């Protein structure tokens, strides 16, 4: 994502910032990875934040226009399924706050995001850029997609799961 964002800056992107938020991890490899990301981001309008509190994450979603999600990119679903977004809850959280998810085509995001309605699915970095440029240049499209995402996210509220679960259990009798 850093390389893609950097390429967009080289092509004239101004006034946008990439905010990467995630866990540091517990291993030396995890910490080395975060350190490498910080080096790549140096001098760019990129913030890397680790181990933030849930309240701060919610605020970040609310301030975001776009939500890039790359879990699984460059991986094989058969070999490394744990590298993919299993259910797609992070993009749903972003949608619920009005941030438009632009997520890598893998794992659960295929179920939670309706492509070109409540968000966007990408397969290559060039496609991630193309989708992002389209949304950056079109405020009306961003507004419509954000609204559709908020509406879509309602389907994944805990109360809805509980009602659906109880209905299914009730039908078993």
* pLDDT reported for residue 77: 82
CB environment 54-71: b (16+ within 10 A), e (fewer): eeebeebbeebebbbbbb
Query: Does position 38 have pLDDT exceeding 90, yes or no?
Result: yes
Q: What is the DSSP letter of 47?
A: E
Distance CA 41, CA 62 (A): 23
Query: Does position 63 have pLDDT exceeding 80, yes or no?
Result: yes
* pLDDT reported for residue 55: 95
Distance CA 163, CA 169 (A): 10
Domains of the chain and CATH, by start: 2-172 (3.40.50.2000)
Confidence of residue 173 (pLDDT cuts 50, 70, 90): low
Q: What is the DSSP letter of 155?
A: G
Task: Calculate mean pLDDT across residues 4-17.
Answer: 97
100-104 and 66-69: which strand pairing?
parallel
> 124-142, pLDDT tens digit by residue?
999 999 999 999 999 999 9
Distance CA 100, CA 109 (A): 13
Confidence of residue 156 (pLDDT cuts 50, 70, 90): confident
Query: Does position 45 have pLDDT exceeding 90, yes or no?
Result: yes
Distance CA 97, CA 155 (A): 14
């Amino acid at each position: 994502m850093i390389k893609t964002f950097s390429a967009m800056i080289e092509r004239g992107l101004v006034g946008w910032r990439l905010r990467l938020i995630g866990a540091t991890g517990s291993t030396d490899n995890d910490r080395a990875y975060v350190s490498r990301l910080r080096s790549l981001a140096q001098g760019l309008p990129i913030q890397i934040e680790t181990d933030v509190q849930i309240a701060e994450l919610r605020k970040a979603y609310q301030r975001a226009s776009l939500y890039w999600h790359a879990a699984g990119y460059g991986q094989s679903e058969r070999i490394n399924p744990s590298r993919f977004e299993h259910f797609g809850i992070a993009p749903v959280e972003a949608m619920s706050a009005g941030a438009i998810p632009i997520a890598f085509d893998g794992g659960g995001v295929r179920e939670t995001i309706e492509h070109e309605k409540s968000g966007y699915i990408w397969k290559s970095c060039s496609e991630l850029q193309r989708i992002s440029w389209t949304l950056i240049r079109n405020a009306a499209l961003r507004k419509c997609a954000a609204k559709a995402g908020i509406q879509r996210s309602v389907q994944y509220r805990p109360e809805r799961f509980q009602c659906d679960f109880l209905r299914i259990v009730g039908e078993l009798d």
